[in-house]
Amino acid sequence: MQLKKRRNAKLREIGTPLAAATCALLGQAVPGSVQAQELMPWDIDTSLLIYSESDGRVQDTSLSLRARKEMREEKFLDLSLTLDSLTGASPSGAAPAGVVQTFTNPSGNAQYAIAPGEQALDPSFLDTRVAMAGNWQMPVGRLSLLSVGASLSDEYDYTHTGINANLARDFNNRNTTLSFGVALANDSIDPVGGSPVGLAPMLGLGDTSNKRGDESKDVTDFLIGLTQVINRHTIVQFNYSLSQSDGYLTDPYKVLSVVDPVTGNPVAGPAGSGLYRYLYESRPDSRDKQSVFALLKRDFNGDVFEASYRYMTDDWGVDSHTAELRYRFNFGTSRYLQPHVRFYQQTAADFYQTVLFAGAPLPAYASADHRLGEFDGITLGLKYGQATTSGNEWSARLEYYTQTGNASPGAAVGSLANLDLYPDLNALIAQFSYKFGRR
Amino acid sequence: MQLAMKGAVGLLITAAIGLSGCARVEPWDRDVLARPDMQLVSDPIEQATDDHIYFSKEASSGGQGFGGGGCGCN
């Protein structure tokens, strides 16, 4: 009986295949007839997230629920649900100008104006997103763990469906784990007002003649991982991943300004439209990304140090480095404080251009989306967590994320030299989580 | 691309074989590593939240997990 209690106490703590594998090994000491008679409760994680960008940009309120249960001996079901409510304004990609700029919104039935010198933000950004996922994890033989899953998400203009599988096998007395995963996704995009023809001009009110129908993309991900126990207090993980996307990878709501190559001023758009000239962006229809990821976790007398690094490179010309550090100060067994810092740096995609110049031949692909530009990102955060007397746990974290970037080389001509072509992005991330069900 | 993947598989298997000689933490010494805060992903919801935020604001995604996305935000 004592054995059973100890074993169940252990099982409740586990959250990853490694721990599951550890317990499976401990479990061998338990006679089969004693196992799995007791119903395990659902472990429930809930969270409320407020993501808020400054200057009236994107605001996201998000509710998440994740439930995990041991359905049968060492077989786990994971279910998750997330609801996002997005409002605010999103950069259209157009450059600021010394004059008032008017834009037709994506639906084509309204227009908005941007004051001189201001960043062009499309105020019609509004969406609700529902995402759900399910995952089944089970042992295969004595040393392997298989998990299979499916995901689904739906937005007003976007639907995602995906499946994934991962097989992990332990070696070396369970000190080493090798894993291999595959994920397939098929997403469909049904942009408001239709998907614009690449590099076609924005048209006046009510004219949708350069918009087309739905689009789609397929994404295939491969992930190969190695987890190694270094000693009783240290574990490391190395991953290599490859992600291949094919299909419509363009952002249907982003445009580029066409400006005079000498004065930097916007040039006239289609006759009778009353607009300056803005061209819808166009991206290649395939993208291959590769990344390597390394993680180290170490226990220091009950505190936990975590460091990770990721290098990513893709065939669009983007290279990025991401480094993260966390240190969890555990105060006894019931309270902790965890500072977090994240550094991110990326180079621009080959076709990233802050503006296009009038009279120059059109490139095959072009985007002024800041997320494809050269920038640095820094996140600073602090999290506090506390166990309740009933054994549940709540935590709260506050993080500040900032992006500082550069316009594409040679973009700051004439009047553009005095304007902010890559405004900083500042965002607050506040999240409150509550976990219960663990006895 | 396929070559890179084969290379990565080879490298990881070589590393696994190489590492198999160095560590020997027995099951009864896994008390620390079995702690929830020592798991590779100790807070799945926080991880999913961060993946979602950075996927929608940066040109990179994935690394520790799949980076496929499933969101019209990028």
Mean pLDDT is lowest, of A31-40, A122-131, B32-41, for A31-40
Nearest-CA distance B69 → chain A (Å): 9
Q: To probe the interface with A, which of B28, B29, B56, B57 has the most A CB atoms within 10 Å?
A: B57
Q: How far apart are CA B18 and CA B5, in angstroms?
A: 20
CB contact under 8 A, A293 and B63: yes
Q: How far apart are CA A78 and CA A63, in angstroms?
A: 17
Query: Looking at chain B from residue 15 to 74, which residues have their Cβ under 8 Å from any Cβ of chain A?
Result: 15-16, 19-20, 22-27, 29-30, 32-46, 48-49, 52-54, 57-72, 74
Among the partner residues A47, A316, A429, nearest to B45 by beta-carbon distance: A47
Nearest CA in chain A to B58: A371
Q: How far apart are CA B42 and CA A304, in angstroms?
A: 11
Among the partner residues B4, B63, B66, nearest to A310 by beta-carbon distance: B63
pLDDT in tens, A49-104: 999 999 999 999 999 999 999 999 999 999 999 999 999 999 999 999 999 999 99
Among the partner residues A10, A221, A397, nearest to B68 by beta-carbon distance: A221
Q: What is the pLDDT of residue A198?
A: 97
Per-position b or e across A385-394, b if 16+ CB within 10 A of its CB? bebeeeeebe
Among the partner residues B12, B30, B45, nearest to A178 by beta-carbon distance: B12
Among the partner residues B25, B43, B66, nearest to A229 by beta-carbon distance: B25
pLDDT in tens, A377-411: 999 999 999 999 998 999 999 999 999 999 999 99
Q: Has residue A18 got a pLDDT over 70?
A: no
pLDDT in tens, B31-61: 999 999 999 999 999 999 999 999 999 999 9
Q: To probe the interface with A, which of B13, B46, B47 has the most A CB atoms within 10 Å?
A: B46
Nearest-CA distance B14 → chain A (Å): 11
Mean pLDDT is lowest, of A316-325, A396-405, B3-12, B24-33, for B3-12
Nearest-CA distance B43 → chain A (Å): 9
Contacts of A167 (CB under 8 A, 6+ apart): A140, A144, A145, A146, A179, A180, A181
Cβ atoms within 10 A of the Cβ of A174, count? 18
Give the 3-state secondary structure of residue B53: helix
Instruction: Give which of A226, A275, A232 is closest to A255, Cα–Cα.
Output: A275
Residues A70, A227, A242, A314: what is their CA dihedral angle, to the nearest 10 degrees?
A: 130
Both tokens of A37, joined, read 């008679």
As a whole number, mean pLDDT of residues A251-273 equals 97
Q: What is the pLDDT of residue A126?
A: 84
For residue A343, what are the β-bridge partners? A323, A378
CB contact under 8 A, A299 and B32: yes
Average pLDDT for chain A: 91
As a whole number, mean pLDDT of residues B1-29 equals 67
Q: Has residue A423 got a pLDDT over 80?
A: yes
Q: To probe the interface with B, which of A312, A338, A370, A438 has the most B CB atoms within 10 Å?
A: A312
CB contact under 8 A, B32 and A187: no
Q: How far apart are CA A114 and CA A255, in angstroms?
A: 14
Cβ–Cβ < 8 Å for A195, A213: yes
pLDDT in tens, A225-241: 999 999 999 999 999 99
Q: Has residue A114 got a pLDDT over 50?
A: yes
Instruction: Give the CATH superfamily of A39-436.
Output: monomeric porin ompg (2.40.160.40)
Q: Has residue A437 got a pLDDT over 90?
A: no
As a whole number, mean pLDDT of residues A340-369 equals 98
Nearest 5°: the CA angle A106, A112, A117 is 115
Instruction: Respond yes or no on whether ipTM tops 0.85.
Output: yes
B9 pLDDT band (50/70/90 cuts)?
A: low
CB contact under 8 A, B68 and A162: yes
Per-domain boundaries in chain A: 1-37, 39-436
pLDDT in tens, B60-74: 999 999 876 678 777
Q: How far apart are CA A12 and CA A398, in angstroms?
A: 28
Q: H or E segment at B8?
A: helix B2-19
Q: Has residue B28 got a pLDDT over 50?
A: yes
Q: Has residue A264 got a pLDDT over 50?
A: yes
Question: Which amino acid does the sequence have at A404?
Answer: T
- Per DSSP bridges, beta strands A144-154 and A127-140 are antiparallel
Nearest-CA distance B47 → chain A (Å): 12
pLDDT in tens, A172-227: 999 999 999 999 999 999 999 999 999 999 999 999 999 999 999 999 999 999 99
- Chain B partners within 8 Å of A225 (Cβ): 12
- Count residue pairs from A and B with Cβ separation < 8 A: 234
Cβ–Cβ < 8 Å for A298, A304: yes
